[in-house]
Each structure stands twice: as C-alpha cells, then as structure tokens.
Copies of this chain bind each other. A is one copy, B any other.
Amino acid sequence: MSATAAILVIGNEILSGRTHDTNIHSIAGALTARGIVVAEARAVPDVEAVIVATVNELRGRYTYVFTTGGIGPTHDDITAACIAKAFGVTLHRDPLAVKMLEAHYEPGQLTEARLKMAEVPVGASLVENPVSRAPGFRMANVFTLAGVPRIAQAMMDNILPTLAEGPAIHAQTVSCTLGEGVIAEGLGAVQARYPDLSIGSYPYFRNGVLGVSLVTRGTDRSAVEAASREIAAMVEGLGGTALVVEGMA
C-alpha cells in the first residue's frame, strides 16, 4: 500500500485569480518521484473555519498533508493558528525558531510582527528555510510550508528524506501525431489488458503540430515497458510514427 498525500494551498490570492499557483505542480512532482500518491489538491481562502475543517478532513484521510501559504508576519497569515486549532493545541513562540530569525535579521530589525513567524503549534517540529529563515513546521502528518514557491521547494527538499518512500512509479510515454479519436479504441484495449497500470492520453499542440502523449505509469517496470511497446505497435499499425521516451514527457 503506497503512502498518500494531499496538497492544500491557502490564500485568497489564488482564488481571486491574482496569483498563479505553482506549488501544487512542484510538490506533486516531488512526491510522485518518491512513490507517494498525491490523491487530491485543494485551494481555499484565508478563512479560519474553512482552513481548520479542511486540514482535519485531509489529515484523517491521507498519510501526509502539505499546506502552502499564510505563514508570514502580516494579519492575513493565519495558517499556523489554524493548524493549532485543528489539532486542539495553542501556539507558542518556539525558541529555536526565534534563534533562526535572530541569525537572519540585523539587530533591531526583528520586529514583533516578524517574531510572529516563530510561533508554531505546541508539539510541532520545525522545517528549515534556507532562503529567508522563517521556518515551516510539521505537526503529526501535516507539513506547513511557505507560499513563495522558491521557499516551498527548499522546505520540500528538507522534508522529502523524512517521508516513507513508496514503491517507485515507472512511467513511459509514447508520442504520436495521430488524433485521440483514431487511437482511442486500441489504447482502451491496451488499458484493459493491463488493469494494474494507469494509461493516460494527453493531447498537445506544439510548434503548430497537434499530437498526443500516451503515458503509461505503474510500479511494475516490465509491465509499463510491455504496455508501451503495445501502444507503440498500435500507433504504427494505424500508420502513425511512435516516439517512445522515459518518463511522463
């Protein structure tokens, strides 16, 4: 049984269309590469009741939950307080987090607002932030990361080695310029022969050419390779040219 995960993006700026989230994509890729199945992703606004309820729903359902956003020093940064509330604990000022901030700011620059970034739920362990020092934290199976993508990724780099690693997921892509409607029947037949694999069909339009990427994924590498060979043969049999590459290209 693989470990599962949910990603929870917190912030009005995502749902207003102001900010284009990139954390779902990068966190999902990092977890998938480690064999952890990302089962869902959500974006919610800066509303305490919504965040608390969503965290509690997701942490009960999945092995891991990763939140992004809302851990800065301003009034709209309420994630730490919400995680504490979800776990029924209070916030406290973590001495180690204060030390991290003291090392980063000039004397006199560590304002009371910035010290808010040292406040984490009682029982949480810190996740180091090599970019701007204000840490993320882990509370049981919930990891709370910054929203700034560069910082979120640096925090993930610190977290990944601590996670249960799932069976590696192998992927192979067959690319061709036949229409989806032409290959659909044959592709469905391959999927039916390999029920343990996941075969996806993703049309693309690149450099003026319409094509489709047929991606086979699964934990059994030889099955993935066999299914990909069958897909390539099917494409060639329909008069197409099949380009086979490793990964989810």
Most buried by B among A43, A50, A148, A192: A43
Are B17 and A26 in contact, CB atoms less than 8 angstroms apart?
yes
* CB neighbours of A192 from chain B (8 A): 75
Are B16 and A248 in contact, CB atoms less than 8 angstroms apart?
yes
Question: How does the 8 Å CB contact mask read for A172-197 relative to B, with 1 for contact and 0 for none?
Answer: 00000001111111011001100000
Report how many residues on chain A are interfacial, defined by Cβ distance under 8 Å. Answer: 71
A198 within 8 A of B: yes
> Which residues 139-177 in A have Cβ within 8 Å of B in the complex?
148, 150, 169, 171
A96 within 8 A of B: no
A50 nearest CB across to chain B (Å): 8
Contact of A181 among B29, B46, B111, B248 (CB under 8 A): B111
A130 within 8 A of B: no
A219 nearest CB across to chain B (Å): 13
Are B21 and A75 in contact, CB atoms less than 8 angstroms apart?
no
Are B42 and A17 in contact, CB atoms less than 8 angstroms apart?
no
> Which residues 21-53 in A have Cβ within 8 Å of B in the complex?
21-22, 24-26, 28-33, 38-46, 50
Number of copies: 2
Are A43 and B45 in contact, CB atoms less than 8 angstroms apart?
no
A84 within 8 A of B: no
Are B24 and A203 in contact, CB atoms less than 8 angstroms apart?
no
Contact of A201 among B72, B179, B217 (CB under 8 A): B72
> Which residues 109-162 in A have Cβ within 8 Å of B in the complex?
109-114, 116-117, 148, 150
In the assembly, what is the distance between CA of A18 and CA of B245, in Å?
Answer: 14
Are A41 and B39 in contact, CB atoms less than 8 angstroms apart?
no
Contact of A199 among B20, B24, B75 (CB under 8 A): B75
- Closest B-chain residue to A42, C-beta based? B42
In the assembly, what is the distance between CA of A12 and CA of B165, in Å?
Answer: 20
Most buried by B among A18, A24, A40: A18
Starting from the known contacts A73-B180, A76-B199, A77-B201, 10 additional A-B residue pairs (CB-CB under 8 Å) come to A16-B171, A17-B28, A20-B22, A42-B43, A73-B184, A74-B187, A75-B191, A111-B184, A113-B180, A150-B205
Residue numbers of A with Cβ under 8 A of B are 11-22, 24-26, 28-33, 38-46, 50, 72-77, 105, 109-114, 116-117, 148, 150, 169, 171, 179-185, 187-188, 191-192, 198-203, 205, 215, 217, 248
